[in-house]
Amino acid sequence: MLKSIALEQLRLGMYVHSIPGGWISHPFWRKSFKIESLEDLQTLRDCPIDQVTIDTAKGRDIAPDHLEDDPEDAHEEHDPTAAVAVAVRKPAQRTESAVERERAARIISSSKSTVLNMFSEARMGKAVDVKDAAELVTEITSSVSRNADALISLARLKTTDDYTYMHSVAVCAMMISLANQLGMTQEQTKQAGMAGLLHDVGKMAVPLDILNKPAKLTEEEFASIRSHTVQGHSILQQIEGIGEVPLDVSLHHHEKIDGSGYPFNLKSDGISIMAKMGAVCDVYDAITSNRPYKAGWDPARSIRHMASSAGHFDPVTMQAFVKAIGIYPTGSCVILQSGRLGVVVDQRPDQLLTPRVKVFYSTTSRMPLKSDIVDLAHGSDKIVAYADPAKWGIRSLPSIDLL
């Protein structure tokens, strides 16, 4: 039986049949689900809506007036610390980049076989077993929660040979970081990570000679590439319990808000927030990576290009993405007020304008400098602008490892 109830009547164990409004009104990806955690309960109660519809055939009913003090509600209603614990998710203490990069490197190394096995199964027409994928998403989520920049910056350092699997890992990590930036729940964040890991699985249905072709694609070959969204959706549909988010993102991560994307030319209102996130993360990693047909752009140039691509990305999602990876992303070449060039090696989520920078060149003397880490949060020097290293005859930047 369906009932419309006030938010204060919600209890654990109830099955929410529908929530009025769109994602702006509430942060839940699904409109139908059972309330099984205090976090989801409190999030629902905090939504700017008056009521929801529950299904008493699938979950708990509202208690009669004389049973309002149901013992099952005692802890939830009378523990003064419960609401605080739910309303404020305490972030994990940030791990130093050098420490987390060691952990991240191990995660990336172990992820190769996991992703390659999944994609090989898909290429052979077998159903993909996502148990290992779920475990990998959990590991990546933990790393991102400790220090988002560490794993993402390492995942960017891919070669053309390992692009396919590293791209999946990188997009997974960026989707998780972006979900955190947007304030999504733990379950939404997990689903975002799974979607990022599997968003390109449809490329396993594309012939390798087309996928890795260094020359310009023919119209027929480009059509084959574009088919990977529909192919990926079809592959994921075969997986029991895969969830709506990976299905949605696999199918729609190449849609654009002006309707010029594919496969369905959807416009902004017709594209989910998760698919909009997938579009941003997918493109950023693609254009910053070395490919068979072009060298990757530096992070700064990539952000500028994406921000100026009117009609492609959702502005709110793009803004959140910039905050998630930093105004000066790790790996960016910058020029300091002192005239030194440096490469950004570490971010501070709360101080986006003052990252740590490895200085390596003097534009005044036009001479290399001994590499040194400068903490811009504790000094007089500051970033003036992004820098093009080629302007100074620099062909490769120093590593982003901390000294």
pLDDT score, position 363: 95
pLDDT > 50? residue 75: no
Residue 175 has pLDDT above 70, yes or no: yes
Per-residue pLDDT, 39: 67
- Band of pLDDT at residue 89, cut at 50, 70 and 90: very low
> Dihedral through CA 377, CA 143, CA 170, CA 177, nearest 10?
-60
Question: How does pLDDT run across 252-289, given as a tens digit for each residue?
Answer: 999 999 999 999 999 999 999 999 999 999 999 999 98
* Band of residue 76 on the pLDDT scale cut at 50, 70, 90: very low
Comparing 356 with 162, the larger pLDDT belongs to: 356
Per-residue pLDDT at 308 exceeds 70: yes
The pTM of this model reads 0.73
b or e along 299-334 (b: 16 or more beta carbons within 10 Å of the residue's beta carbon)? bbbbbeebeeeeebbbeebbebbbebbbebbbbbbb
d(CA 189, CA 368): 43
Which sequence spans correspond to the domains of the chain? 2-87, 97-325, 333-392
Bridge partners (DSSP) of residue 340 are 362
Mean pLDDT confidence for 79-92: 35
Q: Give me the pLDDT at residue 180, please.
A: 93
Cβ-count burial of 76 within 10 angstroms (0-12 exposed, 13-18 middle, 19+ buried)? Answer: middle
The DSSP bridge partners found for residue 334 are 342, 386
The answer to whether 371 and 359 are in contact (CB under 8 A) is yes
**pLDDT at residue 178 greater than cutoff 50:** yes
Read off the tokens for 160.
């053309």
Within 13 Å of residue 19, how many CA atoms lie on the same side as its CB?
26
Mean pLDDT check: name the lowest of 26-30, 104-108, 192-196, 242-246: 26-30
pLDDT on residue 313 = 97
Model confidence pLDDT, tens digit, residues 316-373: 999 899 888 888 888 889 999 999 999 999 887 777 788 999 999 999 999 999 999 9
The torsion angle over the Cα atoms of residues 261, 262, 264 and 266, rounded to 10 degrees, is: -30
For the chain, the distance separating the N- and C-terminal CA atoms, rounded to the nearest angstrom, is 64
Residue 101 has pLDDT above 90, yes or no: no
Instruction: Please compute the mean of the pLDDT values over residues 11-20 and round it to a whole number.
Output: 85
Q: Is the pLDDT of residue 22 over 80?
A: no
Q: Does residue 13 contact residue 61 with C-beta atoms inside 8 Å?
A: no
CB atoms within 10 A of CB 79: 12
Quickly name the fold that domain 97-325 has.
Hypothetical protein af1432 (1.10.3210)
What is the rounded average pLDDT for all residues in the chain?
84
Which pLDDT score is estimated for 136? Answer: 93
pLDDT of residue 158: 73
pLDDT, greater one: 345 or 69 = 345
CA dihedral 327, 166, 228, 128 (to 10 degrees): -130
pLDDT of 172 strictly over 80: yes
Query: Are residues 374 and 357 in contact, defined by beta-carbon separation less than 8 angstroms?
Result: yes
Q: Does the pLDDT value for residue 60 go beyond 60?
A: yes
**Mean pLDDT in residue range 163-173:** 90
User: How many Å apart are CA 306 and CA 15, to the nearest integer?
Assistant: 41
Helix (H/G/I), strand (E/B), else coil: 384: strand
Percent of the chain with pLDDT over 90: 44
- How many CB atoms within 10 Å of residue 377? 12
- Count Cβ atoms below 10 Å from residue 70 Cβ, excluding itself: 13
